[in-house]
Structure 1
Amino acid sequence: MTEARNNEAGTQAEDIKARKERERDELYALDISGVEWHCAPGTEAHEERVEIAYLPEGAVAMRSSLDPGTVLRYTEAEWQAFVLGARDGEFDLEPAPHNGGVAAE
């Protein structure tokens, strides 16, 4: 019985992996040359900023204003997970030490 469950779990994992690969391939096959890019309000055109574009089916593309040719694309589920994690502080950076890496006393 345990061997059957392990085989079933392995098959499910392979199916999920294959589905995610198909979604990624479809997402990167989209022509996004005409999308409208959005950035945080109040930023100047010459400032470095993150820009996003909304794609079909809830997907999102993201790029840096300093490197607009490099575009990352996320499915709706990936983007929702990122946004929720950011809201929960999952990606908060630790304060950097000062004085050349030595913590201030």
Structure 2
Amino acid sequence: MDLITPVLVWRKSSRSAQQDNCVETANLPNGSRAVRDNKDLNGPVLRFSGSEWQTFITAVKNGAFDDLNR
């Protein structure tokens, strides 16, 4: 993250329990989201606009990625 970005509050899904194969998200200004791998807290951070994030969440809820683990 750059120096302009405020300190982020990272959140992990409650469904992940104690597993270390999760991603964490943080709110950014203007409804944007940051996403990182929880195994590499100092690693790269992906940033998504509010509309990109909403499109992704809608796709997840509609089952668009359900067959990826088969």
TM-score computed with the length of structure 1 as normaliser: 0.55
Cα deviation for residue 64 of structure 1 reads 0.7
Question: What runs of 5+ residues in structure 1 fail to find an aligned partner?
Answer: 1-27, 97-105
**CA deviation digits over 1:55-97, x for unaligned, max 9?**
111100001111221110000010000000111111112553x
Identity of aligned residues (%): 32
Equivalent in the alignment of 1:77: 51
Q: Which secondary structure state, in structure 2, belongs to the residue aligned with residue 77 of structure 1?
A: helix
For 1:88 and 1:61, the matched residues in 2 are separated by 22
Q: Which secondary structure state, in structure 1, belongs to the residue aligned with residue 65 of structure 2?
A: coil
For 1:95 and 1:56, the matched residues in 2 are separated by 33
For 1:65 and 1:74, the matched residues in 2 are separated by 17
The higher-RCO structure (CA 8 Å, 6+ apart) is 2
Equivalent in the alignment of 1:38: 11
Bigger-Rg structure (1/2): 1
Structure 1 runs (4+) greater than 6 angstroms displaced: none
How many residue pairs end up in the alignment?
A: 68
TM-score computed with the length of structure 2 as normaliser: 0.78
Cα deviation for residue 33 of structure 1 reads 5.5
RMSD: 2.3
Say if 2:40 is the partner of 1:67: yes
